[in-house]
Amino acid sequence: MHIPDGFLSIIICVTMYVISMGFLIWSWKKTKNVYSSSVTPMLAVSSAFVFAAQMINFPIMLGTSGHLVGGTFLAVILGPYAAMFSMTIVLMMQALIFADGGLSTFGANVFNMAVIGGLSYFIVKLLTRKSNSNGRFFLSVFAASWISMLLGALACGLQLGFSPLFSEAGGVLATVPSILLWHIVIGLGEAVITATLLTQLKRMPSIVISNFANIGGGLN
Amino acid sequence: MNGYIKALILILVSLAILIPLASSSPDGLEKVAETLGVDESESSVTSLMSDYVVPGVENEYGSTLLAGVAGVFLVLGAALVLGKSMTKSIKQ
């Protein structure tokens, strides 16, 4: 879902930079007041994990592949605010060093993956409520990952569709359905991986996970 | 700290195992662009390791793995710096 340079019009690029910047400033203010420095190693390792996971494309169907985005994974482990920063770091390295996602489209990519991914924390929280059951946790994470993937794809489809490069092909009426169609399936992969991983991590009594789900307000 | 280092090693080992199994088919967005007849123009900006390949390393697997390991440590380093500045206000 990494939009390369040249796909989006300048107006959309600038707009998405401004919107994403707004969310990051909001997150910065939230994190500053809440997070203790003991979160730092967890932030670093989970960001590294997401970078590595995004390199591994899995085949879905008809010669198309997808990879884990990891927005909901980060949101549950780090809370919504630090998750946005974590994903932004991953996207920044990908754009700067690996030419994966453009620089002009960076604001859009941050919105589609980092901002929406971070906000999916609230979907998990809404669905788990006060329940401590692993089954309910699994299903909540599953739903949140899938929804966040679809919302990201929808945003991506709108950004592309309103850019002149895609107007000849039919604009939003062409881009939105086709990108959603693929991400309905890719999102299921995202949901299975994220829910399985997080449910396993939640069961581990290790120190690594002791902060888990308490950071950023707590899920339970 | 030990647990984090274990997790990091696990990430790197998994990466080494999974790289050859990864699909090289276009992803959802690339497929949409392809179907709608939009070409991804070659970026004018040259990146250090475009498409996860280290220039000068002939072996395809080695090149991707090296790029991946470099990326993991770059992200790790950047996140550590960010984490430090982000949580500065709370002294422990």
Q: What is the pLDDT of residue B1?
A: 59
Min Cα distance A173 → chain B (Å) is 12
Q: How near does any CA of chain B get to the CA of A129, in Å?
A: 28
**pLDDT for the residue A169:** 84
* Cβ-based neighbours of A119, under 8 Å, separated by 6 or more: A75, A80, A148
pLDDT in tens, A34-84: 777 778 888 999 999 999 999 999 998 888 999 999 999 999 998 899 999
The sign one gets for the Cα dihedral A12, A124, A195, B86 is positive
Please report the pLDDT score of residue A219 as a whole number.
41
pLDDT digits (tens, 9 = 90+) for B48-68: 888 888 888 888 899 999 999
Contact B71, A95 (CB under 8 A): no
Quick one: pLDDT at residue A29?
87
Contact A89 B82 (CB under 8 A): yes
- pLDDT of A167 reads 85
Alpha helices of A35-115 — where are they, by DSSP H?
Answer: 40-55, 71-78, 80-97, 106-109
Interface pTM (ipTM) of the complex?
0.90
Return the residue of B nearest to A210 by Cα.
B3
| Residue A211 pLDDT | 46
Q: Round to whole Å and give the CA distance between A217 and A207.
A: 19
Taking an 8 Å cut-off on Cβ atoms, the answer to whether A98 and B87 are in contact is no
Structure tokens at A148: 């966040």
Residues 64-103 of A with CB under 8 A from B: 64-67, 82, 85-86, 89-90, 92-94, 96-100, 102-103
C-alpha of A27 from chain center = 15
Mean pLDDT of chain B: 85
| Beta-carbon-side half-sphere exposure of residue A205 (alpha carbons within 13 Å) | 0
Give the H or E element holding residue A59: strand A58-61
Q: If you measure CA to CA, which chain A residue comes closest to B31?
A: A64
| Cα four-point dihedral sign A166, A168, A172, A175 | negative
Q: Which one, of B51, B82, B92, B52, lies nearest residue B69 by Cα?
A: B52
Q: Is the CB of residue A156 less than 8 Å away from at least one CB of chain B? A: yes
Spans of chain A below 70 pLDDT: 33, 205-220
Q: What is the pLDDT of residue A201?
A: 85
pLDDT at residue number A128: 86
Q: Yes or no: say if A176 and A150 are a contact pair by the CB < 8 Å rule.
A: no
What would the pLDDT profile of B71-84 be if each residue is shown by its tens digit? 999 999 999 999 88
